[in-house]
Structure 1
Amino acid sequence: MEHPLTQFEYCPKCGSSQFIINNEKSKKCIHCGFVYYFNPSSATVAFILNEKEELLVCKRAKEPAKGSLDLPGGFVDMNETAEEGVIREVHEETGLIVQEVRYLFSLPNLYLYSDFKVHTLDAFFFCKVADTSHFNAMDDVADSFFVPLSNIKPELFGLSSVRKGLTMFLAQQ
């Protein structure tokens, strides 16, 4: 297996090229002694149901998996909680205002961004919104629509953690 830091050739602290593998999760700079541990980025995924018990589904407007199905969500920004991140992402992508957030579970994911493998830890939330009748596809979403739970096909979703998360969510319904 390729070391997760193979794309990092130089020490991020001093710029030395003597940045070598320290262990399976880190690299160490021979020049300044800095050790960099590779940890996953935090991301969120939202399950939003309307009054008919249909799930809000999005179509991805950008790579990775452009054109495939997805759920609202995205990366957590610095200095925000995962709950704040999912609320912000849902609003940015759909215009919906989340009123209540309930954590469900998390799954690891590998997200290819600009030919760089980003390891993520995706936190899945059940989100309640007051009004599901007014929403738009915005930000990195090409389209958004509600689908009856019985018609959800996880294999049509482009990201592996979302496929697995959907399978787990549907099994609980």
Structure 2
Amino acid sequence: MRITGVFPPNIPNMQAYLFASRLFLLFLSCQYKNVLLTMKHPLSQFGYCPKCGSADFETNDEKSKKCAGCGFVYYFNPSAATVALILNERQELLVCRRAKEPAKGTLDLPGGFIDMDETGEEGVAREVREETGLEVEQASYLFSLPNIYIYSGFPVHTLDMFYLCKVAGDGRLSAMDDVEEAFFIPIGQIRAEEFGLDSIRKGLKKFLSGGLFVNL
């Protein structure tokens, strides 16, 4: 598999550059964690019944609110999302730098929300294509982890499904959509704490410590 495109730049005094970059990434990750700690439960932001519009929309239990007017019960369930783990023939992992909030500027893995009527495999392939320009030939489900993703100031609870993906060998790697840059990093140089989203950090630790990448 030979993928062309964006790779880490050739910078003089690379060690100093990497050290400074890692300090900055840790700072950004800590900032995002602090934001999450200040967020209220998502249900508290729903003041009106989404069915009839009544303001008499009260807490039913810890997972739902109920409208006293029409009887509608709203359960706040997690949204489905995908994460792609892509390795090249040199056992380097494809990572991205986030171009937008949340956790703008931190490292990430390709992926995103699943669209309506889409399978997990279709969703992860589409997200990889949209963000990197690469075509997924095979996606193998590994595991899932919960996450909280802040979108427009609203905490969206997600269930992130991790896939080990094989991409076409003649692709050209490009940073697109909400990705600032995309490049491969040797497995031994991956630092989970440099990734801004909690599920990604936990997923990387699980992926690397469990040797799940050896069966690519």
Q: TM-score, normalised by structure 1?
A: 0.97
Task: Please name the residue that 2:199 is paired with.
Answer: 161
Matches within 5 A, 1:1-173: 2-131=40-169, 134-173=172-211
3-state DSSP class of the match of 1:6? helix
Which structure has the greater CA radius of gyration? 2
Larger proportion of strand: 1
Partners of 2:171 and 2:112 in 1: how far apart? 22
Q: Deviations over 1:20-58 (max 9, x none)?
A: 001111000000000011100001100000010100000
The aligned length equals 173
Contact 1:50–1:132 (Cα < 8 Å) also in 2: no
| Deviation at residue 4 of structure 1 after TM alignment | 3.0
3-state DSSP class of the match of 1:46? strand
Question: Where do 5+ consecutive residues of structure 1 fail to align?
Answer: none
3-state DSSP class of the match of 1:137? coil
Partners of 1:42 and 1:164 in 2: how far apart? 17
3-state DSSP class of the match of 2:129? helix
Q: TM-score, normalised by structure 2?
A: 0.78
Percent identical: 68
Partners of 2:106 and 2:41 in 1: how far apart? 29
Cα RMSD for the two superposed structures: 1.2
Paired letter, 2:42: P
Larger proportion of helix: 2
Q: Deviations over 1:54-113 (max 9, x none)?
A: 000000000000000000000001110111110000000001000000000000001111
Higher relative CO (Cα under 8 Å, sequence separation at least 6) belongs to 2
| Deviation at residue 3 of structure 1 after TM alignment | 3.9
